[in-house]
Amino acid sequence: MEATAEEVDRAVRAAHAVRDALADRTVRAAFLRTAAELLSGAEEHVVEAADAETALGPARLTGELARTAAQLRAFAEVVEEGAYLDIHIDHEDGTRTPPWPDLRRVKIPLGVVAVYAASNFPLAFSVPGGDTASALAAGCPVVVKAHPDHPATSELCASLLRRAAARHGLPEDVVSVVHGFDAGVELVKHPLVAAAGFTGSVRGGRALFDAAAARPVPIPFHGELGSLNPVVVTEAAAAERGEQIGAGLGGSMTMGSGQFCTKPGFVLAPSGEAGDRLLKSLTETVSGTGSGVMLDHRMRDAFVAGVAERAALPDVDAPVTPGAGGEHTVSAGFLTVPASRLAEAGPHDALLEECFGPVTVVARYDSEAEITAVLSRLPGNLTATLQIATEEADGSAAGLLAELTPLAGRILVNGWPTGVAVAPAQHHGGPYPATTSTSTSVGATAVERWLRPVSYQSTPEALLPPELREDNPLGLPRRVDGRLK
């Protein structure tokens, strides 16, 4: 089933040949809506296929399918509105120094986009997921490298997307799927691939990112690689509601067997009685969580080995021991360590690296200086969370919030990071290694990854694309001479 280099080449060339078919925004929006309709209509079959390959369960997968369909509909609205084109018109102005010529700018699609499907979201971050939906919304054909954990689900979803395209007179090759590790490497190197989107491991993503940069013509590579998603609990918050915070943390870090990219994998909590109450609640919550199935045996083995390595470090305790739960399952747990052990480089640095699965590390601090010292050593993240007391909402926690802000793309206060709303203001990205770019893979602005701006200078009206003509025949939102019209 793995695609050969020749088959990858054919898929990319076929996608490249049909890129102009996506030029009509009205047709594109209708295509995205029909794709959502067909996916929802095939819910029983899609969920059954995905559950057979991932064991994520019908309830989780039904919700994920609804999210996937909602993403497609949301991007249809983005396409229809047209604001994503970011149109600017500056008329000729000879009174300026130096004088301005007539300048008109619009964003255009990059071309064929390679999408690398994620293991942990067989729908929302896979063949019909956000990368594919946003690329199609931008007007870019897509070639998806399916994840090996769910090949049948990938093919089923691809067939539904291709059927949706055909219903609107679009060539089916606007979406295609290839399988296999070597196919993924060939895909990122193909000269007709103009950009790539990836969700996966740091090791795999970095290898593809380097390959994208090493091409004779480098291309944008928007990769989501790994994230620790730190949480800071103030002493006042632990004193006010330590039990509630412990329970919330336990629920968030075990959700989906800890296989969410936004799992809180590292927590700074206070020493002392208030912190003890938090840990007691966390212990009760995690202990009551049953064993779970990891997405594949490779991930399970990595999790078991990773927690064993971390638990063996000096001064690391396991109030609830994570690890092998059975022949095919893992048990949730958490580790504790004095925050002072992490203030400087050493063997405990392993605790500052993501461990994919149902485990978190709680570093107990004695002072705010220790919080600062540890935060200064953290890598980039998708999220960072601050748990504060009611009394600290007056601004007294602003310093901690300022320390967390450089570390992540989404900052939460008194919430939990698992669960990413598909909303216009959402940002799902962050400093490296969370992502390899500053863009988001969730929300309306995800479409910007697959576009580039072009300015037309002193161009006769008849030669301008319709989006830039003076009478605005398409009725698009535009900024003209600095004013939004």
Q: Which residues are catalytic?
A: 224, 261
Can you tell me the distance from the alpha carbon of 240 to that of 236, in angstroms, rounded to the nearest whole number?
A: 6
Which residues are paired to 336 by β-bridges?
317, 362
Three-state DSSP at 484 gives strand
Q: In what side-by-side order are the strands of the sheet with 408-413? A: 317-320, 333-338, 359-365, 266-270, 230-233, 381-387, 408-413
Q: 250 vs 289, 411, 419, CA distance in Å?
A: 9, 19, 15
Ranges of beta strands (E only) in 92-250 are 103-109, 112-116, 142-145, 175-178, 193-199, 221-224, 230-233
Retrieve residue 461's tokens.
């009206």
Half-sphere exposure of 142 (CA within 13 A, CB side): 29
Q: Is 335 exposed, middle or buried (0-12, 13-18, 19+ CB in 10 A)?
A: buried
Contact 348, 341 (CB under 8 A): yes
Contact 474, 79 (CB under 8 A): no
Can you tell me the distance from the alpha carbon of 388 to that of 268, in angstroms, rounded to the nearest whole number?
A: 12
The H or E element spanning position 184 is helix 181-189
Rg (CA), the chain: 24
Which of 374, 305, 315, 309 lies closest to 345, judged by CA?
A: 374
Q: How many helices (H) and strands (E) does the chain have?
A: 13, 20
Cβ neighbors of 407 (< 8 A, separation 6 or more) are 230, 375, 378, 380, 381, 384, 430, 431
Cβ neighbors of 306 (< 8 A, separation 6 or more) are 355, 356, 357, 359
Backbone angles phi, psi at 459, to 5 degrees: -95, 130
Which of 206, 202, 208 lies closest to 261, judged by CA?
A: 202
Can you tell me the distance from the alpha carbon of 410 to that of 384, in angstroms, rounded to the nearest whole number?
A: 6
Q: How far is CA 234 from the centre of its chain?
A: 28
Q: 303 vs 199, 257, 358, 392, 413, CA distance in Å?
A: 19, 11, 9, 37, 29
